[in-house]
Structures are given as C-alpha cells and as structure tokens.
Structure 1
Amino acid sequence: MSIIDVAKEAGVSKSTVSRVINSVPGVTEGVRQNVLDAMERLGYQPSVRRPGPKPISRKGIRTGNVMMLVMGFEPHEIYRMPVFPSLLHGVEIALRETGLNLVLAGYDPNQPLPAGLASDQVDGILLMGQVTSLSQAIRNKLANIPSVGLMRGYDDVINVCDRVIYNNKSVGPMAANHLLELGHKRTAFLNFDTFHSAFARRQIDFKETMESAGGSVIDLQTKEPQNHAADPLGNLRPHIEQLKSMPEDQRPTAICCASDAVLPDLYMVMMELGIKPMVDMSIISCDNEKQIISRLNPKPATIDIRTEMIGRQAVRQLTWRFANQDEPSRITILIEPVLVKPE
C-alpha cells in the first residue's frame, strides 16, 4: 500500500496526498477530508518520519554531529575572524540540508581536546585555522574520523584530511588584470601582514602580472604587522603621504590591498590627505568581506574568495567521506575566486 493507491482512491494527485499527510498548506478542507477518508477506507498508515531535512545517506553517521574545529584561537576569538561569518553561514546551510548538527569549538594545542571530540560524540571534523603545531592527540583523531580542512593548504595533514580551499594563486593576477583593463599601469600594493603566506602570495602574483604587462608596482608594507595593529592609521599615513608627494606622472593611479580588513583605515587616511577613494585613485582589495565593504562609499572592487561556497562544499565532501571511509586517496577541491566590481 502506498500514496499512489490513496491518490487513485481519492481521485487526486500523489503530491496532494503528500501535502495532506505532511500538513502542508494549500489544500482545501474538502480535498483534505476526501484524502483522509480514502486513507481510512484503504487502511493506509503513513510512516512516522522525523521532521526536517534528512541526510542523503546515513552510512557512516552515528551521532549526527559535525565539529567545526578552529585551531589556534580561543572560542571568543572565532567570531572576530574576518572570513568566519560567511564561511559559517555556508556550513550551517549545508548541514541543515543534510540533517546534521554543528558543534563549534576552538582548540589550543596546549589544552585538552574539546569534550565532544574526546568522547567520540562527533562523526566528522571541519578543520580550519593554524595547524602548524598539531598535537599528536588531534593527529590521531584526524586519522580515524572523516575530516575536511577548509581555507588553508594544510600540507602537513594532506595525507589524513580532505581539503576544500580557494585558489589563492588566481587572486593576485585577477586583481592586476582588472586594473589593467581599467587602464591602470602605475599601481601600489598594500600589505601590512607580510608574514601571512596567502597575502604574500597575492602580492608576488599581482606584481608579476602587472610588470609582465608593462606596469609598475610600489610595495607598501611593514615587516612588523603587530605595529600596524597597534597604530593602523599612524602606520598607514606615511605610505599614502609618500604616494601623494610623488610627481603626478609617476604617482600610482590605483592601489591593490592584500585584504579587505585594511580598507576602512585606508579610506580614512586618503580622505584626510585630500585623496578621494575610487575617484582620485582606484582601489581593489581581496576576500569580499561584506561586513567591511558595505560600510564604504564609494565601494571598491574586490576579489571574492567565496567562503560561503567553501563552507557548503566542505560539508558535502564530509558527507561523501562518511560513506567512503575506505577510499584511501585524499581529495582536494579547489574553489575559484571571482571578481566583484563596484556597484
């Protein structure tokens, strides 16, 4: 006995029977009663189902919990990470679609394992953050629980962890080509965290692309990012003053920023010095941090590294790994960034 039989008995479609069974609005009272009468005549009893979305497959799922483990950060620091809100949003959407629960935890290698992980109350791990000093306890867990690394390369755990990362090698060239298309060949690259490997890669690739097209790049950077954090405006102002003092035929007409995070300070210093952002000097930055970009007027161009998509894809890869734990090869999924032009 199935809803097909009920539909035939009631003279309605299968979808109408499904709506009645699941109490979905849009069915008139007369039709609803007709379907219920048909179910009674046939002795049909719908199966009891837990409301909400279901995982495509339950294979490999024991607790229904997935831990997002952020390495090298205290729990209260996690939400201040620039890329985290959109990344978390993507993870949450994908988990809802599969009927799984999210457990969020920060981890310091010098501290005990998070409770849910130590007691084996999670089916899988989404790993992000700094992994250069992974404890042996974490390495053992990664070797025995399906896990996916997000955002970074994670070369030191590549043999035990699938990865979903953005193609950082595309960011610098994409930014340079955008400025070249606008006619800018005298440029500057702003990077106040030269120890950040992703930012350094963007700077190198931007410069190579610009110079190969006959353009020039002035590097605006500091080797001590902690000094910039302590006094961002004071650290930034001399660099912009340097650009303003240059002869007009040598002065950069555009700036590329390694990250959106520096944009509010850059806009403030430029306006203090009488330079109108996006009018006197074009700007492109990286990451597409919407909570930052939305506060700027006029808005700059930015390279979207698609953190929400990374979050979604990481969950999909993790659920695939649940059902394919015996597959020995580790998979890397590369998400391509996209250019977001000013509105």
Structure 2
Amino acid sequence: MPATVKDVAKVAEVSVGTVSRVLSGEPNVSAETARRVRAAVKQLGYSPLRKRRSASDDRRLLRKQIAILLMGMDRSLANLPSVASGIHGVESALSHAGANVLFADLPQMDRLPEILTSPKTHGLLIKAALQGKLIETADAKLINRMRQLPTVWFLGRPDGSDWGDAVESNDAEVGRLAAEYLLARGHQSIAILDPKPGHVTLGQRSASFIWHATQNGARVERVLGEKSNWSIPLQTVNNVELVDQLIRKLLKLRSKPTAVFCPADSITAMAYHCCARRQIQIGKDLSLISCNNELPLLRGLYPEVTTIDICAEQIGRQAVDQLIWRLQHPEAPLVTVSVQPRLVEGMSVVNLKRRKQ
C-alpha cells in the first residue's frame, strides 16, 4: 500500500496539516520541521494523492479540488488512531475518485486558510473537535466561507454546525451493544467513566448506554471529570491522573459496580494503568467494556479488551461518497449517515451468571 500523508506525519512527528503546509510551500513552517517532513517524504516514497491515479480509478471527482479540514484539535487528538483511520479512509477514497486534495489544520480556527480563498475549491470534508464552543468562537470569515461550500462532517458533527451533511458512528447502537453485552453476563451495577463531560460523541454513547441498561433493571453511576479541563484546541485523554481521579471516585461509590463502560479506548488504556496501580485485575475483580477498537491503544493490554468497533476508516470512505452525492444534489435536505458498529469480544468482561452456577 502506498504511503499516506498520515504516515509522513507520523515519521516526521508533526501533524497532518503541517505536512500539507510543507508540501504546498507555505512559509509559516520552521526550517527544521520542513527538513523532517521532506526527509520522511523521501524515506517513505510518498507522492501527493493527485499524482496517484490509475486508469481503473472511479473518476467522479476528477478535476475537483477538495479540502480536508481539521478544526479545533490538538495534534494529540488528530493522531488518535480512530481519527487517523477516518482521515486515511477519506484520503484513500478521494484518491480513488481522482480528486485534487488539499489539507488545512486549524487548531485555533482563527484564520481563513489560503486553500479556502480559491474559488476553485469545490467541497469540504471536516473532522472537528466535538467539545467546547467550536463554531461560535471560530473566525467569522472562516465560518462564512465554509457555509458556502458543499460540506460533509466525518466522525461526528460539532454542536452549532447547522449546515453540511455528516457521516458518523451510530452512537446509539454503540451504547446499546455495550449495555446488552454486560446485562447478558449478569452485570446490574455499572459505572460509566467519562473524563470529558460535554463531549458530543461520548455523551451520545453514554446516554444510549444508560437508557438500555436502566430499562433492563441495571443501576448506572456516571463518574465524570471536570468540564473545565477541556478547551479548544481539544486534546485526547492522555493524562493518567485525570482518569485516576475517576477510579478513586469509582472505588468510593457506596454500591460497588461490577463493570465499567468506557466510551473510548483512550480512556480504557488509562483505566487499565490506574487499576494495575491498585492491583485491581480487569476481567477478574472488575469488568470493562470499551469503544472504538483502536488497536494501537489496546495492543498489549491484558486481558484483551472487549470493545465496540466504530469502523472509522469506513466512515471516512463513506464521507467521500456522501460529498459526491451532495455535489450532485446541492438543493437536497441535509443528510446524516450513521455507520453501524460491531462488537469485538475480548476477555475483559466476567460472566457473573456462570459464577453463580
């Protein structure tokens, strides 16, 4: 498989947007950063997507200039495996369709990038932070220009975005799958660990989980972090101490949960670490079910994590299909496409019903 811009960013230890700026010759990049990016390009044999065309490609976006925007995200969040997979899916599908692809990384959303000033830009694919006042604090010229273009948000639509289509995980189904899996194994006292209250996706998953669990007689406790810990540009959960505070709250609950629902694998990775500190064994002393199926985060955790795969790369590919449809149907009502998740079973959930037999 040819190297992607994500691969270049990883080797050069920069963001995807920085790679794009270097390759497009923008001046606001340090000489050392530019050197690392060019060295990574040479090492990987990377070539821009517009040069990777073959006669067999579906050319529905031939001669179309499509921009991928990353909005309001710290590099740690943009490099999260699920986000990177979604971007890779977008990139692959655009390449297949013959598009001319441009990137802009806008962690602060305080400017209108040059790629959007061109009247030749035909459409936008946007991955945005899903927490905080993203839209209302962004540069007005940026928002106005975005509203003028056919837009598809992928991997979630931020609050306040009242334009554009969206392709995202079916978070209601994520919550249902997780709840029913725990209930089927006899768990009736459950906690949700969420260090990011107010996050659109995590909140939707948690709300669905609570509804399905409580409808079947379970008791669910929400163990939440502080909203004040999160601002734009939004970061991923990479501070063990934040999750450790939640584990301490969990252990102080009067009715001790037998299982925990973590609405993202980044939270799960930290939770495993915090439980190991206290000699709490996941899959024995405490059950845990997670979301996203981000193998780079889960690899090495024992016992293997039971998680919900949101199919992030498929979401990216489907976002491109939706943009193609939108270009062909500019006057149609807004569309939200939900991609169905699937359960990936590990060994992190104890079957309490078997214990009682």
TM-score, length basis structure 2: 0.70
1:229 is displaced (CA, Å) by 8.4
In 1, Cα distance between the equivalents of 2:190 and 2:126?
A: 37
1:151 is displaced (CA, Å) by 2.2
Residues 288, 191 of structure 1: alpha-carbon distance in 2 compared, 3 angstrom cutoff: same
What is the 5 A alignment of 1:126-275?
126-130=125-129, 131-133=134-136, 134-154=138-158, 156-158=160-162, 160-224=163-227, 226=229, 232-237=239-244, 239-241=246-248, 250-275=255-280
* Aligned twin of 1:122: 121
* Aligned twin of 2:69: 69
Residues 184, 329 of structure 1: alpha-carbon distance in 2 compared, 3 angstrom cutoff: same
1:231 is displaced (CA, Å) by 9.2
In 2, Cα distance between the equivalents of 1:78 and 1:201?
A: 19
Q: Contact 2:193–2:246 at 8 Å: present in 1 too?
A: no
Structure 1 residue identity aligned to 2:276: M
Q: Contact 2:154–2:167 at 8 Å: present in 1 too?
A: yes
Q: Secondary structure at the match of 1:123?
A: strand
Residues 230, 174 of structure 1: alpha-carbon distance in 2 compared, 3 angstrom cutoff: closer
Write out per-residue CA displacement over residues 259-284 of structure 1, whole angstroms, 9 at most, x where no aligned residue.
Answer: 21122221122122121112222111
* Aligned twin of 1:341: 345
Residues 185, 125 of structure 1: alpha-carbon distance in 2 compared, 3 angstrom cutoff: same
In 2, Cα distance between the equivalents of 1:154 and 1:97?
A: 28
Structure 2 unaligned spans of 5+: 1-52, 348-357
Q: Contact 2:165–2:335 at 8 Å: present in 1 too?
A: yes
1:321 is displaced (CA, Å) by 2.5
Q: Identify which range, 222-231 or 194-203, moves more after superposition.
A: 222-231
* Aligned twin of 1:287: 292
Q: Contact 1:193–1:225 at 8 Å: present in 2 too?
A: no
* Aligned twin of 2:16: none
In 1, Cα distance between the equivalents of 2:280 and 2:124?
A: 47
Write out per-residue CA displacement over residues 240-263 of structure 1, whole angstroms, 9 at most, x where no aligned residue.
Answer: 35655779xx53221111221122
1:65 is displaced (CA, Å) by 2.7
Write out per-residue CA displacement over residues 138-164 of structure 1, whole angstroms, 9 at most, x where no aligned residue.
Answer: 344334332211122356444x41221
Q: Contact 1:172–1:204 at 8 Å: present in 2 too?
A: yes
Q: Contact 2:152–2:319 at 8 Å: present in 1 too?
A: yes
In 2, Cα distance between the equivalents of 1:257 and 1:136?
A: 36
* Aligned twin of 1:97: 96
1:288 is displaced (CA, Å) by 2.0
TM-score, length basis structure 1: 0.73
Structure 2 residue identity aligned to 1:240: I
In 1, Cα distance between the equivalents of 2:150 and 2:274?
A: 47
1:102 is displaced (CA, Å) by 2.6
In 2, Cα distance between the equivalents of 1:154 and 1:203?
A: 17
1:68 is displaced (CA, Å) by 0.6
Write out per-residue CA displacement over residues 152-208 of structure 1, whole angstroms, 9 at most, x where no aligned residue.
Answer: 2356444x4122122222222221111011221121111111121322332233223
Determine which structure has more spread, i.e. the larger CA radius of gyration: 1
Structure 1 residue identity aligned to 2:342: V
Residues 246, 57 of structure 1: alpha-carbon distance in 2 compared, 3 angstrom cutoff: closer
* Aligned twin of 1:110: 110
Residues 229, 163 of structure 1: alpha-carbon distance in 2 compared, 3 angstrom cutoff: closer
Q: Contact 1:194–1:225 at 8 Å: present in 2 too?
A: no
* Aligned twin of 2:45: none
1:216 is displaced (CA, Å) by 1.6
Residues 302, 229 of structure 1: alpha-carbon distance in 2 compared, 3 angstrom cutoff: closer
Residues 324, 195 of structure 1: alpha-carbon distance in 2 compared, 3 angstrom cutoff: closer
Q: Contact 1:187–1:215 at 8 Å: present in 2 too?
A: yes
* Aligned twin of 2:40: none
Identity of aligned residues (%): 29
In 1, Cα distance between the equivalents of 2:109 and 2:245?
A: 39
Structure 1 unaligned spans of 5+: 1-49
Q: Secondary structure at the match of 1:334?
A: strand
- Corresponding residue to 1:313 among 301, 313, 318: 318
RMSD: 3.0
Q: Contact 1:187–1:216 at 8 Å: present in 2 too?
A: yes
